[in-house]
A and B are shown apart, each in its own frame.
Chain A
Amino acid sequence: MSYASRRAKFNEKFDEIFSSIFGTLAGFVVATGSLMRFAIQSIRSVFTKPFRWDEIISHMEFVGNKSVVIIVLSGSFTGLALAMQIYLGFKLVNMTALVGPTVGLGVLRELGPVLTGLIVSARAGGAMAARLGTMRVTEQIDALEVMGVDPVQYLVSPRIIATVLVMPLLTGIFDFVAMAGCWVICIFLFGIDQASFWDRTTMWLKPYHLYEGLFKAALFGLFFAVICTERGYKTKGGAEGVGNATNEGVVTSMVMIIVLDFFITNLINVFYRFQKYFMS
C-alpha cells in the first residue's frame, strides 16, 4: 500500500473519529443548554402568580412522606455496616472510640446526602418523569396550554421546589438513623464505653458538618428534579417514550449526583479555607 493511500485512509479514519467526538460533544452542549433553559424557566415561574402552595405541599408529601420508610431502612443499615467496617480498622490501632465521629463525618458530609439523593431520585424522580411523560403523550400538557395555564409553572416548578425543600429533611432523617445504627453497633455489639463514644463524637462533629450535608442534599434535589421533569416534559412518542424518559431521567440524575458531589465537596472546602482567611 502506497504512502498516499495509507495517508488518505488515515485521514478518513481521523475525520470519522473526530466528527463523532465532536458530534457527541456538541450534542452534550446542546442538551446541557436546553436543560439550563428549562431550569431557569421553571425556577423563574416559581415567583410568578398564581403561587401554587397546594401543589407544592402535595408534591412535598409525595416526595417526602412516601420516601421516609426507604430512607429509614437504608439509613440504619448504612450506619450499621459502616460502623462495623470502620471498627475493624480502628481496632488495630486501639482507637475504637473514634468509630463514632468517623462514621458521623462520613455520613453527615457524604453518604447522607449522596445516598438520599440516589434513593429519592430513583423513586420520586422516576415517578415525576413518568407522570409528566404520560401527561405529555396523552395531550394533557397541551390541554393545560390551551386553557391558558402555563404547564411549566403548574407542573414543573412545584415539583422542583418541593424536592429542594424535602431533600434536606430526608437527609436529616438518614443522618439520624445512620448515627443511631452506629451507636447501637458500637455500644451493644463492640462494647465501646458510652461516655467516650459521646465525648469523641461531640468533639469532632460540628453543626456545620450537618449543614454542609443538608446544603448538598438541597442541591442534589434541585438537580435531579430538573433533570427528571425535563425528561418527562419533553417526552416524545407514545408509551415507549414515557419509559425511555423515565429511564434516562433516573440514570442521568444518579450519575450527575455522584459527579456533582465531588465538585461541590471541593467548592465547600475552598469556602472553608476562605472563611478562615477572612476570620483571622
Chain B
Amino acid sequence: MSEQDDKPQSEAVPSPPTEEASSARVPEDKNTAGRPKFTGKNAIELKDVKKSFDGKEFVLNGIDLQIPRGQITVIIGYSGTGKSVLLKHILGLVTPTSGSIKVQGQELTEMTEAQRTQLRQGYGMLFQYSALFDDMTALENVMFPLKEHRRGQMKKSEMQEVAKARLKDAGLDPKHFNKLPSEMSGGMRKRVGLARALALDPEILIYDEPTTGLDPVLTEMVDNLIVSTHNARKGSTSVVVSHDLYAAFRIADHVAMLDSGRVLLYGTPEDFLNSEIDLVKRFVAKGVRKELTPKEGEEPLRSTE
C-alpha cells in the first residue's frame, strides 16, 4: 500500500507553485534565505541543556545532543521522559533553564522573539495529537501555512491545489477534505497534520510520535512518508520522536535514547543492537515486539542507575 501511496506523492510534490515558492525561499545550500551560508555538520546542537518548570524537578537534566544535517535522527524514550519538551526547546517555544541550543550555528537562547519567529518558518512539525485548528476543515488547515507565508506569491486556487496534493500524499480520501477535525478519526487527523507540516516544504522536519495510535499499516505508511519526504528534499534534516523502536531502526540514520532527562545512548541502529548497556539491551529486546511501553502488570523498564 505504501509503495503505491508514494507514487502519486512524488508526482504531486513538484507541482509548479510549490517548487517555485520553495526554491525562492530555500537557496541551493538549503539555508533560510538571508542567513549566512551554513555548512556545519550539525543542524542542531544541544549542550548541557537543563530545564525545570517548577524550579525543583528537572525534566531535562543535561542533554548533550548533535543532530546531523541532512539525516534522520530518531529520539526514543518512555512516556514522560521529556521528549516533547526537548522538541519544544529545539523549536524555541521553551527557554532552557541553562545550557546552549544552536540551530544551524545560531544560538537560539540569544535570539529575539522576532528572530525565532523567522527561524521557525523553516520548520515543519507534526504534533503528537495533530494540533489541528478545530474551526477549520482539513483543507483549510493545510492551506493555513500557505495563506500565511505565500501571500502574494500564490493564488488561492494554487494554494488549494497544493493543499489537496499534500492531503492526498498523506493518504486522506478526498471525501474527507471538507470535514472538521471533530468529525475525523485520530488517524485521519494525523494525516491532515502531516499534510499541514509539509505544506511549506520545510528544511527541518520534526515529528512528535507520528505513529503513536496508528495501526501497523498506517504506521508503515507514515514511516515511508517520512523517509520519502526526507529523501525528496536533499539536505533536509528530520527529527522523529518515537515509541516504536522497530520503526526507529528502519528509518533512522542515528538514534538517541533519552532517560531520566539525559541522553543514555546516541549512535547508529547497529550501535543500539550491539550495546552493552543493560537498559538499552532490554529496550532492544522489547523493540522486537515493536512496542516500548510496558504492558499492564509488567515490571517497568526503568534506568536503575
Residues of A within 8 A of B (CB): 50, 134-135, 138-140, 142-143, 145-150
Contact = CB atoms under 8 A, between A and B. Distances in A.
B125 interface: yes
A140 B189 CA distance: 13
B93 A147 contact: no
A150 B200 CA distance: 17
A146 B122 CA distance: 9
Q: Which of A138, A145, A146, A149 has the most CB of B within 10 A?
A: A146
B131 A148 contact: no
Given A138-B129, A139-B129, A140-B133, A145 B93 contact: yes
Interface in B96-142: 117-118, 120-121, 123, 125, 127-129, 131-134
Given A138-B134, A140-B134, A146 B129 contact: no
B116 to A, nearest CB: 9
A146 B117 contact: no
A199 to B, nearest CB: 52
Nearest to A131: B135
Instruction: Please list the 3 inter-chain residue pairs (A to B) with the smallest Cβ-Cβ separation, ordered nearest first.
Output: A148-B121, A139-B131, A143-B131
B177 interface: no
B145 A142 contact: no
Interface in B182-220: 200
A143 B151 contact: no
Bin chain B's interface residue count.
20 to 34
Contacts of B134: 134, 138, 140
B88 interface: yes
22 contacts: A50-B148, A139-B129, A139-B131, A140-B131, A140-B133, A140-B134, A143-B125, A143-B127, A143-B132, A145-B91, A145-B117, A145-B120, A146-B91, A146-B120, A146-B125, A147-B121, A147-B144, A148-B117, A148-B118, A148-B120, A148-B123, A150-B117
Q: Which of A140, A145, A147, A150 has the most CB of B within 10 A?
A: A147
A139 B145 CA distance: 16
Contact of B148 (A138, A139, A145, A149): A149
A142 B88 contact: yes
Nearest to B88: A142
Contacts of A134: 134
B90 to A, nearest CB: 10
Interface string B63-92: 000000000000000000000000010010
Given A138-B129, A138-B131, A148-B148, 9 more contacts: A50-B151, A139-B131, A142-B88, A142-B127, A143-B131, A145-B91, A146-B91, A147-B120, A148-B149
Contacts of A140: 131-134
Contacts of B121: 147-148
Contacts of B123: 146, 148
A131 B129 CA distance: 18
A146 B120 CA distance: 6
Contacts of B131: 138-140, 142-143
Nearest to A138: B131
Contacts of A147: 120-121, 144-145, 148-149, 200
Contacts of A149: 148
Interface string B142-155: 00110011010000
Nearest to B128: A139
A146 B93 contact: yes
Nearest to A143: B131
A140 B128 CA distance: 11
A149 B118 CA distance: 9
Contacts of B129: 138-139
